[in-house]
Structure 1
Amino acid sequence: MIKEFVTELKGVLKKELPGVRAQHAMAPVRMEDLKRTFRHDIPPRQSAVLILFYQVGDQIRFPLTVRQTYVGVHSGQISLPGGKRELSDQDLSVTALRETEEEIGIARESVRMIGALSHHYVPPSNFNIQPYLGYLDHTPVFVKDPKEVDQIVEVNVSDIIAPDLRKKTWIKPYQGVKIEAPYFDIQNRVVWGATAMILSELSEIIKQTQYGNE
């Protein structure tokens, strides 16, 4: 199943990506206000994340990480494995693979890359995120980095295309601010913000495959 799924994904990725339209379907209500609030004097920092597919039984899954609690705007949030580009990274795909290995213990050489989604800018942290898609031809054994990752959540791809798992709630992203935001209800967890917006574009792509019509 995983190889057929990947073949279909590659075919869809050759078309025009859904991009901002799909991302904004899961954007917080005050997205434009937030962009005006966070004005940075330096260029965005380049970063990358990896959506890593693998098969378990008759399900295709990918991992999300629950961040550790720390001083910062993304403390404790649920995200895709990834991080900022280092000077030693040849390109952003290397960043995605390196960070995935560091955070959840998946050897970079075991990942087969599929392609990339549209980039996504995050105003609060001034990060420009490039999402990549990859897959494993075996069931992974995750080893989390306890300094960065509190938990690993394994998500069924079917969860991000299920309309009843798209909900809204009020969120306090930082002190003094409360916003209404759409989110994916993943195993009773709130997956919102940049991660939800990236997954929203992914869902539009998966819907164009046979897997999205099952």
Structure 2
Amino acid sequence: MLSALKNARGASSDFDLNPEIALPEGRKLREAAVLIAIVPGDDPQVILTKRASGMKHHPGQIAFPGGKVDATDADARAAALREAQEEIGLPPEQVEILGQLPDHETVTGFTVTPFVGLVHGDFQPVSEPGEVSEVFQVPLPHVLNKDRFTIEHRRWQGKKRFYFIVPWGPYYIWGATARMLRNLAGGVNEN
């Protein structure tokens, strides 16, 4: 896992698998940050959320705890920790940040900085119902295995758009979340 943090080669994008789709001209990206929270142990797990259906961006999708960087945040790392506390009740003092992955640009206009952190001590998630409908865990070995990732496509804005998926049980983990997990698995800028 740490090798992925050390060997990351550059930013990724929702456009990586779709070179025929032009990047919007004059786009203004909003800064966001997420926490890839790992619960250590004999069977290490990654904490994920299912976003509430009423959310403006990515409703009902699987995501890491995270969100926009606010003016009151010291930096993106502080935003990721703040959002994790707000969304799933994870106290920042229980998180040891191991590093960060390259930024990821989403088709919805965000540049997301993913931070990888270990969760220390007992932690029982408490979801913020306005933002998170469910908190669940996926085995870390599952998302570190690049063979578990596949590419699918959907029509989006009249065009076929390709994206990564890494399903787990009933959860369809796709898009930016799957891409950042693939980056964690060592697949940065590999198609």
Deviation at 1:136, TM superposition (A): 1.8
Residue 101 of structure 1 aligns with an amino acid whose one-letter code is Q
Match of residue 30 from structure 2: 45
Deviation at 1:73, TM superposition (A): 4.9
- In the superposition, the TM-score normalised over structure 1's length comes to 0.76
Q: Any idea what SS the aligned residue of 1:135 has?
A: strand
Please say which structure displays the higher CA radius of gyration: 1
Counterpart pick for 1:200 among 174, 182, 191? 182
Counterpart pick for 1:126 among 99, 109, 114? 109
Match of residue 112 from structure 1: 96
The 5 Å alignment of 1:7-86 reads 9=2, 13=5, 15-20=6-11, 23=12, 29-30=17-18, 32-33=20-21, 35-36=22-23, 38-41=24-27, 43-56=28-41, 58-70=42-54, 72-86=56-70
The answer on whether the counterparts of 2:163 and 2:174 sit within 8 Å (CA) in structure 1 is: yes
Residue 194 of structure 1 aligns with an amino acid whose one-letter code is A
What is the rounded CA distance, in whole Å, between the counterparts of 2:19 and 2:173 in structure 1? 16
The answer on whether the counterparts of 1:27 and 1:182 sit within 8 Å (CA) in structure 2 is: no
Q: Any idea what SS the aligned residue of 1:145 has?
A: coil
Q: Any idea what SS the aligned residue of 2:186 has?
A: helix
What is the rounded CA distance, in whole Å, between the counterparts of 2:154 and 2:81 in structure 1? 31
Residue 124 of structure 2 aligns with an amino acid whose one-letter code is V
What is the rounded CA distance, in whole Å, between the counterparts of 2:147 and 2:100 in structure 1? 27
The answer on whether the counterparts of 1:40 and 1:126 sit within 8 Å (CA) in structure 2 is: no
The answer on whether the counterparts of 1:48 and 1:92 sit within 8 Å (CA) in structure 2 is: yes
Residue 55 of structure 1 aligns with an amino acid whose one-letter code is P
- For structure 2, which runs of at least 5 residues remain unmatched after alignment? none
Q: Any idea what SS the aligned residue of 1:140 has?
A: coil
What is the rounded CA distance, in whole Å, between the counterparts of 1:186 and 1:139 in structure 2? 24
Provide the identity percentage.
Answer: 30
The 5 Å alignment of 1:87-98 reads 87-98=71-82
The answer on whether the counterparts of 1:67 and 1:151 sit within 8 Å (CA) in structure 2 is: yes
How far does the alpha carbon of each residue in 1:3-49 deviate from its partner, in whole angstroms, 9 at most, with x for none? xxxxx72x763x442434xx57x97743651x53x4455x3111100
How far does the alpha carbon of each residue in 1:49-100 deviate from its partner, in whole angstroms, 9 at most, with x for none? 00111125x1111111111113645121111110001111011100000000
Q: CA RMSD in A?
A: 2.6
Does 196-205 or 125-134 show the bigger shift?
196-205
Matched, 1:136 2:124: no
- In the superposition, the TM-score normalised over structure 2's length comes to 0.84
Q: Any idea what SS the aligned residue of 1:204 has?
A: coil
What is the rounded CA distance, in whole Å, between the counterparts of 2:112 and 2:163 in structure 1? 20
Match of residue 142 from structure 2: 159
